[in-house]
Amino acid sequence: MISYILYFSLLAHTLDAALITWKNKNAEAKYAYDNRKKSSKWYSRNMGILGTVLLIFLVIHFKDFWYQYKFGTLPVDHLGNKNLYVIVVTAFASWWYVAIYVVSMLALGYHLLHGFKSAARTLGLYHPGYVAFVGVFGKIYSYTIAVGFSIIPIYVHLSQFGI
C-alpha cells in the first residue's frame, strides 16, 4: 500500500511542477529587468532540469529494480526468497550505470536542498530567527541523502574488483 502512495506522490509532484512552470511562463506580469543570477542559486533556477534528470532516473531505476523484482524471473536464495542481490550486483557492474546513478543523486541533493528551503518558507519556518538553522539543517539533510545513496553503487561497483 505504501508504494502506491509513493507512486501517486511522485506523479502529483511532477504534475504540480509542470503546472507551476506553465503558469509562470504564461504570467501576464513580465519583468523589465531580470537579474535572478544574483538573487537565487543555480539549483533554484534549474529545478526543471534537475527534476527531469530525476524523472529519467526513476524510470530507469524502477525498470531495472522494481519491475525486475515484481515481474522478472530472479534466482531464489536458500529460503525461497527472490535474490535481489543479483540485480544490484549486475546493475552496478557497469561503470556508466554507476555514473548515471551518482549524477542522479547529485541532482537529488540539489532538488532536496531547494525543496527543503521552499517547504520551510511555505510552512512559515523561514524566519530571521530560524533562517541559519533551516539553512544548515537543509544542507546536512540534502548532502547526507545524496552522498548516502551515491555510496551504494560506488561500493558495490568497487567491491566487484576486490577493492
Domain ranges of the chain: 31-159
* Distance spanning both ends of the chain, measured CA to CA: 39
pLDDT at residue 33 in the model? 57
**What's residue 35's pLDDT?**
61
- The top-scoring range by mean pLDDT among 41-45, 57-61, 81-85, 124-128 is 57-61
The C-alpha cell that represents 149 in the structure block: 545513496
Q: Is the pLDDT of residue 21 over 60?
A: yes
> What pLDDT digit, counting tens, does each position of 31-80 carry?
655 565 666 776 667 777 888 899 999 999 989 888 888 888 888 888 88
- How large is the average pLDDT for residues 148-160? 95
Confidence of residue 157 (pLDDT cuts 50, 70, 90): very high
Q: What single string gives the DSSP state of each residue in 29-86?
A: ---SS--HHHHS-HHHHTHHHHHHHHHHHHHHHIIIIIIHHHHS---B-TTS-B-HHH
Q: What is the share, in percent, of the chain residues with pLDDT greater than 90?
A: 33
**pLDDT number for residue 97:** 94
Q: Which residue has the cell 530567527?
A: 129
CA distances from 157 to 58, 91, 95 (A): 20, 9, 7
pTM, entire model: 0.79
- Calculate the average pLDDT of the chain: 85
Please count the other Cβ atoms lying within 10 Å of the Cβ belonging to residue 145: 16
Q: What's residue 94's pLDDT?
A: 92
| Bigger pLDDT: 161 vs 59 | 59
